[in-house]
Amino acid sequence: MAANETGSKAATLSDVARRAGVSIATASKALNNRDDVAVATRQRVLRAADELSFTPNAMAKGLLAGRTGTVGLLTSDLEGRFMIPILMGAEDAFGAGQVSVFLCDARGDAIREQHHLRALLSRRVDGIIVVGRQTDPRPSLGQEIPVPVVYAYAPSDDPRDLSLTPDNYTGGRMAVEHLISCGRTRIAHITGDPSYAAAQDRIAGARAALEAAGLELVGEPMFAEWTEHWGRDAAALLLQRHPEVDAIFCGSDQIARGVLDTARDLGRSVPEDLAVIGYDNWEVLSTNSRPQLTSIDANLQQLGRQAAQRVFDAIDGVDIGEGTHHLPVRLVIRGSTIPRR
């Protein structure tokens, strides 16, 4: 037999009612703990339902109630490293209640996204969370959607939408402030693709922190890609050109790993001689390096949870506001940065 094909169709309410010897209406009332049902009758119905392992048909219920208890999660890049924690946070917040999540991956393709959006609306989801793969603004789904929409990670380009995104500016500032508080003054920055808003925002924050301390970046920020490989190359270049550098703020943990490699190759000891700070707090990378990597954590799971909460609120008719909200990030201190002296 095919895997679990228990021929028997799922029991319906009328099956239960018949077995309990009551009307459908009464059975419904009994199962939903409404009044106007005698205790004995209720017992009988409950037993019948149990015996038939009755599960109410959520569709029929939803059809009637006008709400489905489902939410759509529209991601653009499922495999992405940032998608997952957000997704988990959201799933977490929803899963706790009686809400189920429809997962859609548009693979970064607008056509696919439109297609999935149609499917979600057709399934009458009560709300939608749109998760993007970068912190760059993305096209809005529009204001015509009949259910609340919240944008997570990638904000919408329409200020009338509600967007939640990590605060990269403050992240950059915190990273550099931490380095300064460790007694470093000759700080350089190696980061990834300059076309990413995340890269620019972090630099802006970093510069603000430096300026507040009367310092300047050593050299210009070094841009290329978010890889370990680039981290190695960039660090080699940097340490050759500016050997006086005593701290490097890296745009990602991957880059930081590369930097650590090069530092070791060149005999620069981390953190004594050179402090290194990463970004993203990707624990597979940050906790396995030598030394372990100080990093900025964007609290993505938290972000996902909040997005879900906003959708909940909107469903309940609460005004959830609009505009792009920058959620707090967090400094995680590990061995790659310690106070000098």
Partner DNA sequence: GAAATGAGCGAAAGCCATTTCGAGCAAGTT
Partner DNA sequence: AACTTGCTCGAAATGGCTTTCGCTCATTTC
Does 78 bind its own copies (CB under 8 A)? Our answer is yes
Q: CA-to-CA distance for 84 and 300, rounded, in angstroms?
A: 9
CA-nearest of 214, 210, 163, 168 to 192 is: 168
The string of DSSP letters for 225-281 reads -SSHHHHHHHHHHHHHH-TT--EEEESSHHHHHHHHHHHHHTT--TTTT-EEE-SS-
Task: With H, G, I as helix, E, B as strand and everything else as coil, classify residue 200.
Answer: helix
Q: In what order do the strands lie in the sheet with 247-250?
A: 187-190, 247-250, 275-277
Please choose which of DNA, its own copies, none residue 40 contacts, taking the beta carbon within 5 to 8 angstroms, the exact cut-off set by kind.
Answer: DNA
Q: Widest CA span of the chain, in angstroms?
A: 88
Does 242 bind DNA (CB under 7 A)? Our answer is no
Of the two residues 257 and 305, which places its CB atom closer to its own copies in the complex? 257
Residues 34-53 that bind its own copies (CB under 8 A): 53
Query: In Å, how far are 72, 109, 151 from 104, measured between CA atoms?
Result: 7, 12, 14
Does 19 bind DNA (CB under 7 A)? Our answer is no
18, 24, 197, 217: which one contacts DNA (CB under 7 A)?
24
For residue 91 the two structure tokens come to 């799933």
Residues 252-271 that bind its own copies (CB under 8 A): 254, 257-258, 261
Does 173 bind its own copies (CB under 8 A)? Our answer is no
For residue 183 the two structure tokens come to 């007694």
13, 73, 234, 293: which one contacts its own copies (CB under 8 A)?
73
Please choose which of DNA, its own copies, none residue 43 contacts, taking the beta carbon within 5 to 8 angstroms, the exact cut-off set by kind.
Answer: none
CB 30 within 8 A of CB 46: yes
Please choose which of DNA, its own copies, none residue 26 contacts, taking the beta carbon within 5 to 8 angstroms, the exact cut-off set by kind.
Answer: DNA
Minimum CB distance to DNA, residue 66 (Å): 6
Does 147 bind its own copies (CB under 8 A)? Our answer is yes
Please choose which of DNA, its own copies, none residue 34 contacts, taking the beta carbon within 5 to 8 angstroms, the exact cut-off set by kind.
Answer: DNA
Query: In Å, how far are 23, 30, 31 from 34, measured between CA atoms?
Result: 15, 6, 8
Task: With H, G, I as helix, E, B as strand and everything else as coil, classify residue 85.
Answer: helix
Does 29 bind DNA (CB under 7 A)? Our answer is yes
- Number of residues in contact with DNA under rule CB under 7 A: 33
Only one of the segments 3-11, 16-24, 35-43, 206-214 lies at the binding site for its own copies (rule: CB under 8 A); that segment is 3-11
Does 121 bind its own copies (CB under 8 A)? Our answer is yes
Does 15 bind its own copies (CB under 8 A)? Our answer is no
12, 18, 46, 100: which one contacts its own copies (CB under 8 A)?
100
Residues 183-212 that bind its own copies (CB under 8 A): none
Residues 290-319 that bind its own copies (CB under 8 A): 290, 310, 314, 317-319
Q: CA-to-CA distance for 332 and 253, rounded, in angstroms?
A: 12
For residue 116 the two structure tokens come to 């999935």
User: Residues interacting with DNA, by CB under 7 A?
Assistant: 9, 12-14, 21-26, 28-29, 31-32, 34-42, 54-57, 60-61, 63-66
